[in-house]
Each structure stands twice: as structure tokens, then as C-alpha cells.
Amino acid sequence: MEGFFLHTHNAAWHTLHNIICGTAGKIEGYLEEVKTRLKCDITIFHGRDDELIPVECSYNVQSRIPRANVKVFEKKDHITIVVGRQKAFARELEGIWKNASA
């Protein structure tokens, strides 16, 4: 995380560029693989105030993979959904892992 925040304008641009140019054309294939090959439950965390990726994108994934559970966090964005609430986020992940089928 520290490296990401050192030069936020450069890091954010490069991250967005890599997502758009590197994976956008592959997302359909990725979703199909997750839908057909993986049998585990899926939890998608999304901050309601995320200005980088609209919350509708998470609901779009859920519509393609019905077993996906979307958890929207009010007053959180793309960063603050984790940063500033690391312990709570870790507990949420531990709960998912604890309830996962072996």
C-alpha cells in the first residue's frame, strides 16, 4: 500500500490504465471461469462512495454470478473500505473463511 500512496497521481493513472487496457477485454472470460469452475461462495466488498468503480459494477458481477454476495459499506470509498478499518476488514474476511466449505 505504501508504494501506491507515494505518487498517487501516477499510481492511480497507471492502475486505471492497467485495468482498462490490461483486463477489460478479459473480464468476460474471467467471470465465466469463476462462474463455472469455482464452487465457493463469493463476497464482493464495495464502498458506496467509490468514485473509481461504481457500485453498479459489483451488482453487475452478482447478476452474472448469482452466488456472489455484494456487501456495500456506507460512507466508504475505494480506499477507505480497507484503510482506516483494517481490523474490521480482517474480521470480515476471517468470518468468510470460517464459514467457507472445505
Cβ atoms of 43 and 68 closer than 8 Å = yes
pLDDT of the residue at 18: 64
Provide the pLDDT confidence category of residue 68 given band limits of 50, 70 and 90: very high
| Helix, strand, coil content of the chain in percent (nearest 5) | 60, 10, 30
**Residues 1, 22 within the same domain:** yes
| pLDDT, average across residues 35-44 | 90
Give residue 44's domain range.
40-102
pLDDT of the residue at 62: 93
The whole-model pTM stands at 0.71
Count up the domains in the chain and report the number: 2
**Residues 2, 51 within the same domain:** no
**Residues 48, 95 within the same domain:** yes
pLDDT of the residue at 28: 83
